[in-house]
Structure 1
Amino acid sequence: MHDIAERAIHLVMAGTVADLRAVVHPDATNREAVDEPPACRGTGPEAFWATALWLRSAFSELAFAVDESVVEGDLAVTYGRMSGRQTGDFVVWNADGRVERAFAPTGRRFEVRHAHFQRVRNGLVVEHWAVRDDQSMALQLGWIPPSPLYLARCARATRRARRAAAAATAA
């Protein structure tokens, strides 16, 4: 079962929607989607694919190195290190599905610890949630402490993201 859970994580980093359909149940939910774009908040492989596209729009060279996997019952826990480089705006969404803020790209690399919890039934992921070290990522990427210039860049990135979200909603 841990192979399905690990594969699902790797496919979000570098797979296709067709790949995700092979490991994610049509009714699967991602508890982490509350801070992600509205398209990520649905169910099934398409919602997981939306998460993949959202992450890939902000980070290139995404990878997840597995340090440990544990399975108990229908729950697989995968602990490891996510890494990448921020080459695009990282947009954070609020619970109402609106852009909260955007972090402008810094070009810096990061490597942080993650634990992913995935419930697997009949060989497919049906639920996902995670514990991430977002503060270390923010420090490594230079988001905190922010310089005045970086704050201005983030304000512009947030305006861009809000305009793009409004245009997508209007279309």
Structure 2
Amino acid sequence: MTSAATADAVSRSIGLMADGTLDDLRAVIHPEARNREAAQEPPDCRGSGPEAFWATAQWLRSAFDDLAFTVDTVLVDGDLAATHGTMSGRHTGDFVIWTPDGRVERAFAPTGRRFEVHHAHFVRMRDGLIVEHWAVRDDQSQALQLGWIPPSPGYLLRCARATRRARRAAAA
């Protein structure tokens, strides 16, 4: 696979998290692909292959409307690629964080606020498909823009309610 084809596949995969389908992800994600960032995501995201990446996309979409990713830079070196860009959206649904053992840790209640933060994504390719993903994100800026920190007493109460809702839903 050429560097240009790798860069295109990586850029496309990131954008598909916002608006792609499972079939779209199957075109760029290897059946054995792993997402190293899935430790705080729902259990369905922790598997392998396009289905796990699809679960991550659904998790993000459930919390953020107008979700969008831009890729400004892609660097390719052999089977590795790195990107830099932004993630943006509006927080309209509970954003649920999970424990490593698959339990709901907490949920951030929707604030309706918009955010835009820098992301760097790293992938390893095999057979022309993404087989491994990890990232560096500006979670602190996202939390500040969305009003998660510093939290008001009222927001803490809304988050406690959101966490209870998520735990009930996970137990069902």
Give the alignment's TM-score, normalised by structure 2.
0.96
Tell me the secondary structure at the aligned position of residue 158 of structure 2. helix
Task: Give the CA deviation at 1:73.
Answer: 1.1
Structure 2 residues without counterparts, runs of 5 or longer: 1-5
**Sequence identity, in percent?**
75
Is 1:72 aligned to 2:84, yes or no? no
Is 1:34 aligned to 2:39, yes or no? yes
Map 1:50-129 onto structure 2 (within 5 A). 50-129=55-134
Aligned to 2:3: none
Give the alignment's TM-score, normalised by structure 1.
0.97
Tell me the secondary structure at the aligned position of residue 66 of structure 1. strand
Is 1:150 aligned to 2:155, yes or no? yes
Tell me the secondary structure at the aligned position of residue 134 of structure 2. strand
Residue 67 of structure 1 aligns with an amino acid whose one-letter code is: D
Q: 1:161 aligns with which of 160, 166, 171?
A: 166
Distance 2:8 2:165 in 1: 39
Q: Provide the aligned length of Structure 1 versus Structure 2.
A: 167
Is 1:44 aligned to 2:49, yes or no? yes
Distance 2:32 2:62 in 1: 25
**In angstroms, what is the RMSD of aligned CA positions?**
0.5
Aligned to 2:28: 23
Task: Give the CA deviation at 1:122.
Answer: 1.6
Tell me the secondary structure at the aligned position of residue 107 of structure 2. strand
Task: Give the CA deviation at 1:62.
Answer: 0.8
Task: Give the CA deviation at 1:66.
Answer: 1.3
Tell me the secondary structure at the aligned position of residue 51 of structure 1. helix
Tell me the secondary structure at the aligned position of residue 146 of structure 1. coil
Task: Determine if contact 1:118/1:126 at 8 Å carries over to the other structure.
Answer: yes
